[in-house]
Chains A and B, each alone.
Chain A
């Protein structure tokens, strides 16, 4: 180094070469998170996944989005598929339940076919639900006439069907993201559904009226 007031090119380079990042200890992160939990800035509970590193998502009302909720959403989707079987009688679609029962003991190729079949049943059931809803709007009735003219669905059941369908979509998006975590489009879809759930379930939103089975 020289005695000049300005840095020499070598000195400048030496400063530029200094490291810009250093990792604090992992314990520090836990210390900070714990303090923020104690202060109520972050949620006060965490998922018990045994490893101590898996964290759930907090809600201001104390609600947590736990794996069982997503699992319940997927389970509830089965109800939708069961409905699909019933509605499928109108539409002539094949049994989704059979497709699900066949999921086990299949190889990847068969699984892809099963997904296609189940997906078709899902979309068909939704389309049928949409038709009923259109009928509801046309007739402005609280209950929907079935194929024989008998009321099959109330408006609240119709709404429940819609929410169950969203739950299934959410569960499917999660599984897709697990399969391909680098797919930005899939992550965007998942984020949209996450944000929607956050709006509907948390932040002072109205609780859902879905009955989880």
Chain B
């Protein structure tokens, strides 16, 4: 180091492009460093918008994928469910006792909103009435059907249990608690769902 030279170290003066441009970016950065509980406290105590946005951005991608899959890939419906989920979660944050992970709590709210939507649209999330007709349409003809597409083609009653069990890793007991059904019903739905997915995928493989 030459005489009179000042070593600035990590202070960042040498890499101005790395600096946040505004105090708001600093706030955002700070919010990202906080735990879920700290962010929730800021929201409950002060209506802190930046804290909410940080919490939203942290958890939304996972919940959105979960909801999107449960709804067979319907983006518009999934976004409506997401909105309802976050509105309810934000209002109930003060009552959340942090005995489970925030993400599990949020997913539970989302699942309830999906169930509510199904009730409104008179879809059953747990029963597949009568003989289920495979909904492989003209757009699927001649091409390989991947697992995601096969899940979307399932009737909601099959899809819900399959997603909860085989994708999200819930046990039959947990599924029963969340959907208000018995373990046995969950098992039989899963059995039917797996068979249905196999049929769809084999059909896709045959026509591809």
Residues of A participating in the B interface, judged by any CB pair closer than 8 Å: 1-3, 5, 7, 14-15, 18-25, 28-29, 31-33, 35-37, 39-43, 46-47, 49, 53-60, 67, 70, 108-109, 112-113, 174, 176-184, 187, 190-191, 194, 198, 202-203
- Chain B residue contacts of A178, Cβ below 8 A: 19-20, 23, 26
Looking at the assembled complex, report how far the CB atom of A6 sits from the nearest CB atom of chain B, in whole angstroms: 9
Known: A15-B167, A20-B62. A55 touches B79 (CB 8 A): no
Measured CB to CB, the nearest residue on chain A to B60 is A24
A184 to B26, CA, bound (A): 12
- Docked pose: A59 CA to B49 CA in angstroms: 10
Cross-chain contact of A109 among B6, B50, B53, B148 (Cβ < 8 A): B6
Known contacts A23-B61, A54-B22, A58-B46; is-contact A39 B87 (Cβ 8 Å): yes
Chain A residue numbers with a CB within 8 Å of B122 are none
Main secondary structure, interface of A, reads: loop
Size of the B side of the interface (Cβ < 8 Å), in residues, is 59
13 contacting pairs across A/B (C-beta < 8 A): A1-B197, A1-B201, A14-B147, A15-B166, A18-B167, A21-B62, A43-B46, A55-B50, A58-B47, A108-B13, A109-B4, A174-B23, A179-B13
Chain B residues in 8 Å Cβ range of A43: 46-49
Knowing A35-B83, A174-B26, A187-B30 are in contact, say whether A57-B50 is a contact too (CB < 8 A): yes
Question: B68 at the A/B interface (Cβ < 8 Å)?
Answer: yes
Q: Find chain B residues with CB under 8 A from A56 CB.
A: 24, 27, 49-50
Q: Which of B10, B49, B79, B167 has the most CB of A within 10 A?
A: B49
Q: Are A49 and B24 in contact (CB under 8 A)?
A: yes
Whether the Cβ atoms of A70 and B64 lie closer than 8 Å is no
Asked if A57 and B65 make an inter-chain contact with CB atoms under 8 angstroms apart, the answer reads no
Kindly state whether residue B11 has any CB partner on chain A within 8 Å: yes
Do B11 and A180 have beta carbons less than 8 Å apart?
A: yes
Whether B45 sits at the interface, judged by CB under 8 Å, is: yes
Tell me if B10 and A20 are in contact (CB < 8 A): no
What residues on B are CB-neighbors of A176 within 8 Å? 11
* Contact assessment for A190 and B30 in the assembled complex, using a CB-CB cutoff below 8 Å: yes
- Contact between A183 and B79, CB atoms less than 8 A apart: no
Does chain A have a CB within 8 A of B175? no
Residue-by-residue, is B190-208 near A (CB-CB < 8 Å gives 1, otherwise 0)? 0100110110011000000
